[in-house]
Chain A
Amino acid sequence: MSKTASKSNAAPLHSEGGMDYLITRQRKFVTVYLPLLVFGFVLLFPFYWMTITTFKSNDDLYDYEKHSPFWVSNPTLANVKKLLFDTAYPDWLFNTMLVAVSSTFLSLFASVFAAYAIERLRFKSSRWVGLGIYAGYLVPPSILFIPLASMVFSLGLFDTRWALILTYPTFLIPFCTWLLMGYFKSIPYELEECALIDGATRLQILFKIILPLAVPGLISAGIFAFTLSWNEFIYALTFISSSEVKTVPVGVLTELVDGDVYKWGSLMAGALFGSIPVVVLYSFFVEYYVAGMTGAIKE
């Protein structure tokens, strides 16, 4: 923190930094980096805590005086081992993956056609259908789960993965359709008109012209839909009762908590390993994810 970065001589160095030359480095540290550090600490601490708890032995876990709580003095894999071999955790992970992938593909399939129809075919009252789908996005699962539970029961789907695969698209389709409509809108009409003149059918246009150009949109919608279904809780909690068909969030909460003896170690391990797949996927597609999130809002 030397004083060399004063107003006058910092200006030419930071010409790309907009009006940054108006503030000193010290001032920027206090007004920008310090608050960011605090935000970062608060937002990330629970994950740190989750991670180190996973690898703590019971001695570490329940005795803060002898062992500093912020570090693992005797790392152990006992919690992870217990989670993977003594519980149905691998099953839950498999179920979550299966349900998330299936409902994502189902929703993408339906949304691609719907978005193309609304945005490009411009059929009669397509505008209202588009608004109706947007309204569907505003219906939260917590007002639908009771009637859906009674439907799932009478359809004989209770306690099966189908109950989740078929109900998740209710919140995925509106989102994906709306996002894809935005992407389709940005593709020039002329491309489509040329193809029509050359005798292409609408289906060919959709698959050979529109979709290849909308790949970023498809990835955004897919990633977002996948994480939404991975995170879903209330339907999975209501429609599933057997351990072997549970998803990770429900399994961890209902089967790893028994009575008053909280198994914090294995609970945290369950939370950590349930989060890793989405975090890994997210880290590969951050830009698409952010585009999906902000795109759906800006529309």
Chain B
Amino acid sequence: MATGLSVLGRLNNSANALGFVFMLPAATMLLVFLTYPLGLGLWLGLTDTKIGRSGEFIGLANYKSLFDDSVFWLVVFNTIFYTAVSSFFKLFLGLWLAILLNQNIACKSFVRSVLLLPFIVPTTLSAIAFWWMYDSQFSIISWVLLKLGVIDKYINFLGDGWNARFSVIAANIWRGTPFVAISLLAGLQTISPSLYEAATIDGATPWHRFRFITLPLLTPIIAIVMTFSVLFTFTDFQLIYVITRGGPVNATHLMATLSFQRAIQGGQLAEGAAIAMAMVPFLVGAVLISFFGLQRRAWQQGAKD
């Protein structure tokens, strides 16, 4: 066993060799099931593969046909609209909730944990609850509004294009707000109270304190949280698949649900892969905007790398 020991001994002393061995499990998993599929997806998008039939290279034909496909452009619009509106509200409501939770309130940690529930519960399952609340005949929301005299007939939540869009956006905001709020709360707690005290003595109003203390100090965290939020809203699948399946008449289809429909349900694997790949430029754009926005902010605050 002497040689075995010496090999182990040498391994123990070489950071590079040991690092390689330690990285092996994670790297193998990620290369096989993450990097390779990414490349495979790119390749599939350039072929005419169908389920059960391997395809041949056809260049950019899939992307060309998508370019002329009005449904695809409607879906791109839907996805951007869905992401923009729900991200805006998630940030606004999440920031507000975070500021509320940062006050001295009774049972703070209990309140905080309970309000995070929408984020914990499986999205598919809470989406089913929303689906039931949006039911055309038995919607509790319609019933209450009717009893209050706000409306005079049941709202057709999921049967009308724009109603359906706003209904799924509402469900997305419901699920995403606690995540944004709790993350921002962690950022708020790092801001020293003495800053607020000093500003108050100088006569700053609550709005001034928010605008000139909270917001600038919170910007880096906001940028990161919103990058994640935008990324996962843009590629959202579960909510739409459960509540509307993309209907009515594609009004709520997102790029992810369209690619699922074409690739898995329709069997056109290649076309689905092309749609999925078409999401990548948007995602890279979102990440870059946040990254450079963040860099600028860090630089302004005099931070070093």
Which partner residue on chain B sits nearest A123 by CB separation? Answer: B19
* A166 located at the interface, meaning its Cβ lies under 8 Å from any Cβ of chain B in the complex: yes
Q: Tally chain B residues at the interface, Cβ within 8 Å.
A: 95
- Known contacts: A110-B26, A110-B29, A129-B23. The answer to whether A147 contacts B120 by CB under 8 A is no
Of listed A20, A62, A145, A267, residue having the most chain B CB within 10 A? A145
Contact of A297 among B114, B225, B269, B283 (CB under 8 A): B225
Cβ of B163: which chain A residues have Cβ within 8 Å of it?
Answer: none
Cβ of A106: which chain B residues have Cβ within 8 Å of it?
Answer: 29
* B166 located at the interface, meaning its Cβ lies under 8 Å from any Cβ of chain A in the complex: no
- Known contacts: A114-B23, A234-B237, A279-B120. The answer to whether A151 contacts B126 by CB under 8 A is no
Interface membership of chain B positions 119-158, coded 1 if the CB is closer than 8 angstroms to chain A and 0 otherwise: 0111111101110110100101001000000000000000
**B122 pairs with A282, CB closer than 8 A:** no
Contact of B15 among A18, A121, A143, A294 (CB under 8 A): A121
* A290 located at the interface, meaning its Cβ lies under 8 Å from any Cβ of chain B in the complex: yes
Interface membership of chain B positions 35-64, coded 1 if the CB is closer than 8 angstroms to chain A and 0 otherwise: 011101100100001000000000000000
Interface membership of chain A positions 114-153, coded 1 if the CB is closer than 8 angstroms to chain B and 0 otherwise: 1011100111101001000100101111111111111100
* C-alpha gap A118/B18 in the complex (Å): 11
Of listed B33, B93, B113, residue having the most chain A CB within 10 A? B33
**A143 pairs with B103, CB closer than 8 A:** no
* C-alpha gap A272/B125 in the complex (Å): 8
- Considering only residues 81-124 of chain B, those with a C-beta below 8 Å from chain A are 93, 96-97, 100-101, 103-105, 109, 111-118, 120-124
**B128 pairs with A253, CB closer than 8 A:** yes
**A64 pairs with B23, CB closer than 8 A:** no
**B40 pairs with A233, CB closer than 8 A:** no
* B193 located at the interface, meaning its Cβ lies under 8 Å from any Cβ of chain A in the complex: yes
Contact of B97 among A20, A39, A146, A271 (CB under 8 A): A39
- Known contacts: A133-B26, A147-B41, A290-B116. The answer to whether A271 contacts B200 by CB under 8 A is no
Which partner residue on chain A sits nearest B20 by CB separation? Answer: A123
Binds B, one of A1-9, A82-90, A168-176, A182-190: A168-176
**B132 pairs with A49, CB closer than 8 A:** yes
**A18 pairs with B22, CB closer than 8 A:** no
B interface secondary structure, majority: helix
Cβ of B18: which chain A residues have Cβ within 8 Å of it?
Answer: 117, 121, 123, 202
- Known contacts: A136-B34, A231-B124. The answer to whether A47 contacts B23 by CB under 8 A is no
**B130 pairs with A46, CB closer than 8 A:** yes
**B277 pairs with A143, CB closer than 8 A:** yes
* C-alpha gap A123/B123 in the complex (Å): 40
Interface membership of chain A positions 285-299, coded 1 if the CB is closer than 8 angstroms to chain B and 0 otherwise: 011011001100110
Of listed A141, A143, A248, residue having the most chain B CB within 10 A? A143
* C-alpha gap A22/B183 in the complex (Å): 27
* A230 located at the interface, meaning its Cβ lies under 8 Å from any Cβ of chain B in the complex: yes
- Known contacts: A253-B242, A298-B186. The answer to whether A279 contacts B111 by CB under 8 A is no
**B125 pairs with A249, CB closer than 8 A:** yes
* C-alpha gap A2/B29 in the complex (Å): 64
Cβ of A278: which chain B residues have Cβ within 8 Å of it?
Answer: 120-122
**A138 pairs with B138, CB closer than 8 A:** no
12 chain-A/chain-B pairs, Cβ below 8 angstroms:
A36-B97, A113-B25, A122-B19, A124-B16, A146-B269, A147-B38, A148-B37, A237-B241, A250-B124, A274-B122, A275-B125, A286-B116
Q: Nearest 3 CB-CB pairs, A to B?
A: A123-B19, A114-B26, A117-B22
Further contacts, 15 of them, CB under 8 A, given A249-B122, A293-B182, A293-B183: A18-B197, A19-B197, A35-B96, A44-B114, A46-B130, A69-B140, A123-B15, A138-B231, A143-B256, A143-B276, A150-B49, A151-B37, A249-B125, A275-B125, A297-B221
